[in-house]
Amino acid sequence: MAPASEDGNLYPRSAGRQSRSASTVARLVTLLKEARKSANLHTEIKGSIEGEGMLRTLCVVATLQFLALTSAWACTGQVGAVIFQDTFADDSGGWDTTPPWSTVQPPVYVIAGDANNSGYNALNLTFNATDGDYCMDFILPPAIAANNQMYAGILFWATDYNNMMSAQLASDGGVWLQKKASGNWSTIFDVPKSPAFVSGANAVNSLRVTALAGVITVYLNGTQIKSVRAQEPTNPGLSFGMYAGADAVSANAPKVQIKSYSVTAGK
């Protein structure tokens, strides 16, 4: 089980397919039009056979460019208007960073523990959401030891670092939902060794949480893990964020790399 934080965002020693955006689709259409225009021009000069070959080549290039534009958003199933998106191309996302434990290192957000801190929480300081569809893509390293699992997770319904909800994935494939109230953690559910988990040192996993009309549903790589009913907070200024860490401190703790984070209205 991931350790409970006793002091702010540091964890001390004691402790579906997303809809393509209109701009991206428009970019693909533009690339294909440019490809056809170039091929037609080539046909006039070199003949129809070479022109068709050029068309096929440029269409492939356009498709690859389109995939490059959309590959950063691996979260599946998100719906509703976009509230927040970040692929960590820079540090303008409004995250509460605390070097050296948490830093934006484009194109990822990196969280790493050390001999004094087993993990780190990072809330977003400039965006808020209550009802929402939250998703995070990340690389979760293997466990440090059999009794020292690594974790990465989504924080939501947070009033501060002592009051929040957290959905987490463990490096053994376990999926957790926890609640923190007045600094004290309680586990709502623990699903061990989900078959949806993708293992491996550089494997990317996608964790998603929908919190809508008093129902929290957790997904891993597009597979629904579990739903529970929960009393929705009434505070309109609730925050969301992310967590990464381990069961226990380690001087050489591996880094968790968060590749993207997105929040939509969910409806």
Task: Provide the pLDDT for residue 252.
Answer: 86
Predicted TM-score of the model (pTM): 0.77
Q: Is 231 helix (H, G, I), strand (E, B) or coil?
A: coil
Question: What would the two tokens of residue 90 be?
Answer: 């820079």
Query: pLDDT category, 236, cuts 50, 70, 90?
Result: confident
Can you tell me the mean pLDDT for 33-57?
A: 45
Query: pLDDT category, 48, cuts 50, 70, 90?
Result: very low
At 186-234, the pLDDT tens digits run 999 999 999 999 998 799 999 999 999 999 999 999 999 999 999 998 8
Interaxial angle between packed helices 48-70 and 22-46, expressed in degrees from 0 to 180 and rounded to the nearest 10:
160
Q: Is residue 242 predicted with pLDDT exceeding 90?
A: yes
Task: Provide the pLDDT for residue 14.
Answer: 36
Q: Which helix or strand (DSSP H or E) is residue 248 part of?
A: none
Cβ partners under 8 Å of residue 183, min gap 6: 5, 6, 162
Q: Distance (Å, rounded) from C-alpha 196 to C-alpha 66?
A: 27
Q: Distance (Å, rounded) from C-alpha 113 to C-alpha 217?
A: 29
At 128-182, the pLDDT tens digits run 999 999 999 999 999 999 999 999 999 999 999 999 999 999 999 999 999 999 9
At 81-124, the pLDDT tens digits run 999 999 999 999 999 999 999 999 999 999 999 999 999 999 99
Cβ partners under 8 Å of residue 10, min gap 6: 98, 101, 117, 119, 120, 121
Q: Is residue 69 predicted with pLDDT exceeding 60?
A: no
Beta-bridge mates of residue 229: 215
Around Cβ 9, how many Cβ atoms within 10 Å?
21
The DSSP code sequence of 108-127 is EEEE---SSEEEEEEEBSS-
Question: What would the two tokens of residue 45 be?
Answer: 């000069």
Peptide bond into 106 cis (omega under 30): no
Task: Provide the pLDDT for residue 12.
Answer: 55
Which residue did the predictor score with more confidence, 50 or 164? 164
Around Cβ 186, how many Cβ atoms within 10 Å?
9
Query: pLDDT category, 60, cuts 50, 70, 90?
Result: very low
Task: Please give the backbone phi and psi of residue 210, each rounded to the nearest 5 degrees, phi first.
Answer: -110, 130
Q: Distance (Å, rounded) from C-alpha 90 to C-alpha 5?
A: 28
